[in-house]
Structure 1
């Protein structure tokens, strides 16, 4: 580990929680250089929905590379891009009756968010974006501005104007927070003004697995239409099947004006991001939002294969929902066992347990790692133990991981009781 302490920046994060050197990975299992194996409940922070080294994608990529296929193409036409767009249209957009233009941005989710904010301001001529409490949208300047967490905002080192935060669904208990939002829109002295757009996650991954209800999301869409604001859904972590459907908003029946996708879009952990925008909003001039690496053709190969392998019918979606129900059932059992010390959060294979504080959650994940389970926390205080395993995890491995988690929670809660007595 000396080389990392000597050369790598202090900004490194995950390696501090999992201080080993990994050498191999397959589906939901990781192996370190000592031969120890770990069950992966982190899944590349939502980037590996189809598991590590998915054999369907790996062979397609190897074949493409062996044939000297285009690796880097800027935004030029390539065979790989053509095949991806055709598959995305055939298996994702058309079955859902969705009509969107596809913008390839720089390869990170935060770049997709930057583009979405720019296109909203460009089309409306207005500046203010409404974001929500506990929202996370990235750490570049524009994306950090719409991110609620002060830890990431402080690192920018300058004021981040043009954003107004509203309370997310459930933030004020049973009170419908959209009533407050609309009151602020109606009141010329509220300080809100007339926003250009709203950006929202249907499931707040980094914010603590807060999940918006169908009624709230439908109400938000209606509010946006009434007041001529664009609705941007950030589906970077919750998309590509993690909720049980390809898009996290599908079950709500809403139709966002703009959608951002990244993380598991490539299917193989390769950098790739897109913005889906209504055709009337596609007012970009050529090259107005660009990036050298918006043509990752290797990612196009694996992304196409992911779509054709898992989204040609609804069998994969059904398997995800089945696993999600298993996770929910097991977490509810743990919650019941520990009374008021735990709260179930999230939906799909994006669930977890909220602990009394971040110290308890961190102790659980620390103990889990020692016992062969890689799992992280989220939330404003890191108080939520968060399951983000690959969607392709085998049932046997999933149950084994949940067993470890349950044991660790039990042991940590016993420690807490012992300390209090």
Structure 2
């Protein structure tokens, strides 16, 4: 395909303009044709190199084409390993399940049944919502301002972004939206507010089936919930028999330091949604982790043709080797502190940016007082060889999402490009 593009007289980007739907988005922010990638770098048709501070929107926590995962994948394909199996038993799936139990769940004292709901994050969320409603017999779900949980109708109903919700074409119902931690300045505790509403027979809000949340709202603007607030939500759920769903799709798999983003707060959610980097290699894969007492599915009640993606099981099993000890976790925390310190210095050095810093681990946001500045910085960074996106309801946040395995020199090089881009915009 790429050779065909090169042989035409048209600009390579014209192929996408002429043949692909107008719904495409990232190519508009990063207007080039990529050909290969390794680690924290990508190359395009002109052999120009880019440092990746985007990491597949969190799907490439271990970088591009990690050599150990690539080797396992190539060996599996060469041996005619099963690629597609729906939910039949395969050796690749059995190995993943055993390793996930031994490496991730048991050391953390977590007991979950593992569901393969289909290969996407939104499918994990849909299955979680369906199961919470089935298990409780209730229909309402509480979500939070600026949440993002996916683009299918159930997931979109618990998403806050007005633009994305507007694409549904139908009413998005059975949801009550509450303020996320820190949404109001001045100290209003949204958990106390919710608890009072639920206790009041005249509030118009009945006891929900579930509360769904992200511990760090990535797409919503890198909003971080405090450990104290998260624990209050969990206690409310326990007191009232509400299912607690944590969407760890973007900020799980080590993004905040620990494997699960809720570990530092000491939470034990009833249901956990994982996708993006769970396969380790960027291959489609998703998990819904369910406390055994909630595993009330009838066989086939939620299914999907591609929930048995064995190629992803192979790379996911190898990715778990990063979590046999705490080496990567400590590296993430150190890199996160290093990046945050530099971002904090910029807020002082560049007062015209009117910026502040948000985030945990290696998901960090530089919040610009003028949303246009964030968009301009992202564009200027791309021109200088750095891939970095914006987030938030007005795209006001420059969002840093580098691979967790990025080496310190490449990290510093990318940060220097970002600072050069800020200076250019200002």
Q: How does 1:1-400 map to 2 (within 5 A)?
A: 1-173=13-185, 174-308=187-321, 310-339=322-351, 341-400=354-413
1:236-255 deviations in Å (ceiling 9; x for gaps): 00000000000000010011
1:410 positional shift: 2.3
1:133-185 deviations in Å (ceiling 9; x for gaps): 00000010000000000111110111011000000000012222111111111
How far apart are the structure 2 equivalents of 1:338 and 1:88? 45
Kept in 1: contact 2:380–2:424 (CA 8 A)? no
- Matched with 1:417 is none
1:10-31 deviations in Å (ceiling 9; x for gaps): 0000000111010110111010
The normalised TM-score by structure 2 is 0.96
- Matched with 2:415 is 402
Kept in 2: contact 1:113–1:143 (CA 8 A)? yes
Gaps of 5+ in 1: 414-421
1:230 positional shift: 0.6
Kept in 2: contact 1:357–1:382 (CA 8 A)? no
How far apart are the structure 2 equivalents of 1:380 and 1:314? 35
1:263 positional shift: 0.1
Q: How does 1:402-421 map to 2 (within 5 A)?
A: 402-413=415-426
How far apart are the structure 2 equivalents of 1:228 and 1:59? 46
How far apart are the structure 2 equivalents of 1:221 and 1:265? 24
> What's the Cα RMSD here?
0.8
Please state whether the residue corresponding to 2:376 is helix, strand or coil.
helix
Please state whether the residue corresponding to 1:290 is helix, strand or coil.
coil
Kept in 2: contact 1:262–1:273 (CA 8 A)? yes
How far apart are the structure 2 equivalents of 1:54 and 1:220? 38
1:282-319 deviations in Å (ceiling 9; x for gaps): 000000000000000000000000002x0111111111
1:74-107 deviations in Å (ceiling 9; x for gaps): 0011000011001100100000010000000110
Gaps of 5+ in 2: 1-12
How far apart are the structure 2 equivalents of 1:155 and 1:203? 24
Please state whether the residue corresponding to 2:264 is helix, strand or coil.
helix
How far apart are the structure 2 equivalents of 1:313 and 1:171? 36
1:338 positional shift: 2.4
How far apart are the structure 2 equivalents of 1:307 and 1:246? 10
How far apart are the structure 1 equivalents of 2:230 and 2:237? 11
Please state whether the residue corresponding to 1:238 is helix, strand or coil.
coil
Please state whether the residue corresponding to 1:255 is helix, strand or coil.
coil
How far apart are the structure 2 equivalents of 1:62 and 1:44? 21
1:3-49 deviations in Å (ceiling 9; x for gaps): 11111000000000111010110111010110110000000000000
Kept in 2: contact 1:357–1:381 (CA 8 A)? no
How far apart are the structure 2 equivalents of 1:10 and 1:148? 23
How far apart are the structure 2 equivalents of 1:323 and 1:301? 28
Please state whether the residue corresponding to 1:24 is helix, strand or coil.
strand
